Amino acid sequence: MAARSEEEKDFDRAETVRPTLLTKHHENLYEVARFLDLSTRRSTGQRVPCKIYVQDPSTAAGSDGLGLQDVDLRWEPGLGDGPTSSRFAVVDYDVDRGVLGAPARWDAEDFAFFTPDGTPVGEATGSEQFRQVNAWAIAERVLEYYEDARSMGRPIPWGFEGNRLMIVPQAGFRNNAYYERHSKSLQLYYFGDRGAPRYTCLSHDIVAHEMGHAMLDGIRPHFLEHSSWETAAFHEFIGDLTAILMALRNNDVRGHLEEKFGTDLGQADVLSSIAEEFGKYVYDRKFLRTARNEMTFEQARERRESHDASQVLTGAMFDVLIAIAAQYLSEERQAKRKKPASPAQALWWAAERFGRTSLQPLDLLPPADVRFLDYARAVLRNDELTDPVDAHGYRDIIRRVFHERKLCPKPFGECDPESCVLTPPSPPRLSVFHDLREVARSRTAAYHLVDDHRRRLGIPPGQDFVIADLYACNKLGRAAERLPRQVVITYLWREAGGLEGARFGRFAGQDVELLCGGTLVFDDLSNLLWWAPKRGRGSEEGERRRAGLLDYMAQIVAERRLTLADDPEAAVLAGHTAPVVARRVGGALRLETAPHLCGAGGEEEEGWTTGF
């Protein structure tokens, strides 16, 4: 069986007292729920029980351990029909049939969702209402996981104006599912046989993947404007990483892995495979993508397709996860324990460490134009900040894996860590005389801090810039200890340049924007922990970035992968749904990933995509 925390064991013995509480008592406990342990929150009704698929219906049919699982979610006083919560609203509109489905009904007294005929949703797994609750519950779990102190340690906003992400669980008949910023929604389609369709809203992997896009769009919204294939691929990597992390959160999945694979967790296809049902019924293969791969950065650079290229980072981080689990199961560490750890326990501990290792670095990424090397450096620097001693040598594991994936072209054993491209560069020394408490509360104060150091930060004289984001993080470290609070500032400016020459086709003569700026991370004592710059004109790096953007623009024009968002004949001209959309803003072009990469005829290699 999967490893269970002491809190979960306590809950098994606890008596549920929620039915005896008055409404005002229930709401009073909600106000202090963050100070209560898990068993107390469950027994007092601060957690909502739900039943969800831990993989998808097809996988569940082939394994007793991968079917439905009972989970619980944060309760809030505004929870209502739909489901509707403070951050999500399920709208079950099928555009193909023009039908708005009846919502799952929330009964506050029975503390459960019901179908229109009064059946508990958990007992009606074939109903529309179960599909609604399944998608909503997975989305809620992803949001809660990202905001937890073990991950980002702060509330995560959406990448759009508004506080509710709309979930459309049965959007229509199509081989697709995507997150789209402009419609503020997750669009989850059904596919296969129209008479007995398969639903992407029932696939834990797919819903979690699309939520990964939504979370990254809230964390770094300017990653929407990609200037290279790496930026688009990074979004796909975070989607697949989220699916893997959420699978590890399920007790039944970990128990199944232990039973089937024992200590050989590297062969755990259930964990490494993404969207098995979709891959089987759409592409006649075991999965859509897999984290168990050997793709290198050099190979990805040749292919440049975002879903394909994302497997470099997905595979690398999966290798790190398995290596961490192997460390927990090593003979040396097992000998030090009173009772040897089981593989499921090792996966639980590894998942805790891996979640911090893989997600916390997102706060260290630049505000735009992210590259694979940016992430690799952020992972290593974040590990230094959260585990300075590194008693078990995890950073050597991470370095070795990144070398094997050719993020550094030199072999691991022949590369000096001091001069290695993976080594995080030291941030500049800034004499910060500003009050960080004030800076953390005011974008204007943050602007003054950055402006006072513009020369050291490489901001051109006279160049205006904006504070793109400002927030504070309260995270946990390796031993679940509270880390010093971090204040994160991201700043941006835009540099327009002309598209000159026949290689830009019908876009010749127009301007395209290059995003420049950086991310600054301070601790409470005003120490600069990290700086991730994206330089502009007047610097060698800026000129390389500009040339790279123009080459990328010429490439996607030549491959007919670019279309204008405001061109009504765009789809006809492209011949299919183009993967990249150019929007005119202020007279210049901004490139975005399109929400639909698969045309009606399925021209693209991948039918299931990100969508923004």
Say yes or no: 319 and 358 in one domain.
yes
Say yes or no: 206 and 313 in one domain.
no
Which of 424, 448, 467 represents a domain boundary (last residue)?
424
Counting Cβ atoms within 10 Å, is residue 261 exposed (0-12), middle (13-18) or buried (19+)? Answer: middle
Helix (H) or strand (E) holding 374: helix 372-386
| Residue that is written with structure tokens 């134009």 in the block | 369
Alpha-carbon distances, residue 203 vs 120, 207, 291, 477 (angstroms):
21, 6, 17, 32
Domain membership of residue 392 (yes or no) is: yes
Task: Answer yes or no: are the C-beta atoms of 518 and 491 closer than 8 Å.
Answer: yes
Domain membership of residue 105 (yes or no) is: yes
Structurally, the chain folds into a number of domains equal to: 2
Say yes or no: 232 and 381 in one domain.
yes
Domain membership of residue 53 (yes or no) is: yes
Domain membership of residue 472 (yes or no) is: no
Say yes or no: 173 and 279 in one domain.
no
Percent of the chain surpassing pLDDT 90: 55
pLDDT tier, 267 (very low <50, low <70, confident <90, very high otherwise): low
Domain membership of residue 409 (yes or no) is: yes
Say yes or no: 283 and 318 in one domain.
yes
Say yes or no: 210 and 123 in one domain.
yes
Domain residues for the domain of 330 are: 228-424
Tokens of 325: 């689990």
Say yes or no: 249 and 117 in one domain.
no
The CATH number of residue 90's host domain is 3.10.170
Alpha-carbon distances, residue 270 vs 65, 68, 134, 333, 345 (angstroms):
11, 15, 20, 26, 17
pLDDT score recorded for residue 221: 95
The CATH number of residue 372's host domain is 1.10.390
Which of 219, 247, 275 represents a domain boundary (last residue)?
219
**pTM, entire model:** 0.91
**Distance between CA 56 and CA 75 in Å, rounded?**
25
Say yes or no: 263 and 300 in one domain.
yes
Domain membership of residue 19 (yes or no) is: no
Say yes or no: 184 and 53 in one domain.
yes
pLDDT one-digit tens code per residue, 274-298: 656 666 555 555 556 677 788 999 9
pLDDT one-digit tens code per residue, 8-21: 455 454 467 888 88
524 vs 449, more confident: 449
Helix (H) or strand (E) holding 467: strand 466-473
Tokens of 299: 């190979």
Say yes or no: 233 and 344 in one domain.
yes
Which of 187, 219, 251 represents a domain boundary (last residue)?
219
Helix (H) or strand (E) holding 333: helix 331-335
Domain membership of residue 513 (yes or no) is: no
pLDDT score recorded for residue 89: 98
Domain membership of residue 582 (yes or no) is: no
Task: Answer yes or no: are the C-beta atoms of 163 and 86 closer than 8 Å.
Answer: yes
Which residues, at least 6 apart from 389, have a Cβ–Cβ distance to it below 8 Å?
none
pLDDT score recorded for residue 270: 58
Say yes or no: 209 and 254 in one domain.
no
Say yes or no: 113 and 64 in one domain.
yes
